[in-house]
Amino acid sequence: MRDTGRLSLIFTSLCIAVIPTKIAGQELQELIGSVGGCHYFDRSKLGEVYGFRSDANAREAAERIMRHTGLPQNFTIMAANIKNAEARMDSQGRRLILYNQEFMLRILAGTGTDWSPVSILAHEIGHHLSGHTFTGKGSMRPFELEADKFSGFVLHNMGASIEEAKAAISLISSPLGSLTHPPKDARLAAIANGWLEAKDMKSGTARAPIPPPQSPGRMPRDCVTLSAISEETEPRLCPAGYAVKGVKCSGFYCDNKILECCNHPEPHRQFQPGEWSSWFSEERRGRENYEHRKSMVVVGLKCKGSFCDNISLQFAEAPGFTHCNQTSFFSEEGSGSMQCLGNAFVSGMECKKPYCDDIALYCCSIDSQ
C-alpha cells in the first residue's frame, strides 16, 4: 500500500555563520568538524562543517523510512553546509545524517517528484544500517551500491514506483563515475535490484539469482582511473585493495601520468599500501633510472622536478608475484599508454630520454603470462 503521508522535503534557505546566533529563524547547532563520511555523489566538503536543526518534513521522512525497516532510528538528522548529503560519525561517535537544504530543493525541482529527496535520505540511512560509517573509509564504490540497493528496496515498500526510486540518480549521477562512486548505469541497476527484491518478497516469489560470469572463488574485475599526476599535484593512490594495472601519458615529455587501478579477481588478494621508493630519473645511470620489486605491486605514484622528471612509487606486498616481464617503452607521442596483461600488475617502472619522457612498465603476476 502506498505511503500516503506527504513525503516532500520542504526546506528553508540555508544560511551559514561562524557565530552562535539565530539566523533566519534557525539556531546554529554546533561545529561538527571535518570528519569524513559517505556522501551521495562527488567528494565531501573539506573544512569546517556546521550542523543546523533539520526541518520537520525531513525528520518525518527519516522516521517513515525507518518504520519500513522495522529498526529503531539511532541517528540524528541535521541540515548542514555540505555539498549534497552524507552519513557520517562525529568525533563523539554519534551517527549523523547531514543534508544541504538547497541541494534538496534543486533535486526536487529537477526531477519533479517528491520521492527524489526521500531516496537520497534512504541512501544515506543505508550507509549507517550497513555499517559503512564504522569503517572510517568514507565513500567507496561497493558501499555506494549497497546503499543504492537499500534505497530502492525501502522506497518500494513505501510505495514509490521504480522510476521514482531512480529519479535522483538519473538526474545527477556521473555516467563515468569517480574514484569513490560507481557510474550511473551501475547505480541505477543497484536501485532497481533493491526495488525488485522488495517487490518479489511482497508477492511471495523469489527471483532466481543470476549466475556469476566468473569462476567460483573469483570476483569481477573492477578498475578506476585516477586524476593526472604531475609535479604540481599531490601524490595519487589507488583505492584500498587495488593496484596499478596500466599507465597513460599526456603533455610534453609525458608530463602528466594517469594511473589505472584494478582489483585482483581473487578476493583474498587485497593490496595494502606500504613504503615509497627512492626517487629515480633518466639522468642517473644503472639502477637509479628504474624501480622494480618482485613480490610487490605499485599502488601509488608521485613526482617532482620539471615535467615530472623524478618519480617515486608506492608499493604494496604481493606474495607470489614473481613471474615478471618488461613492456616496451611508450610516451605521449606514440600509443600514449601501456597496460599489464592478464592478471599481472605493475611492479615497477623504467624511464629514458630527457625528463623521463619514455617509460616502460615491469609487470608481475603469479602465473606466467
- Cell 529503531 locates to 72
How confident is the model over 91-122, as pLDDT tens digits?
A: 778 899 999 999 999 999 999 999 999 999 99
**What are the angstrom distances between the C-alpha of 82 and each of 155, 171, 177, 224, 307?**
24, 19, 20, 25, 36
Average pLDDT over residues 158-176: 94
31 compared with 97, residue with greater pLDDT: 97
**What are the angstrom distances between the C-alpha of 300 and each of 64, 198, 363?**
44, 41, 15
Q: How confident is the model at residue 89 (pLDDT cuts 50, 70, 90)?
A: confident
pTM value?
0.51
pLDDT at 204: 57
The residue among 207, 213, 210, 239 whose CA lies nearest residue 226 is 239
What pairing do the DSSP bridges indicate for beta strands 95-99 and 76-80? parallel
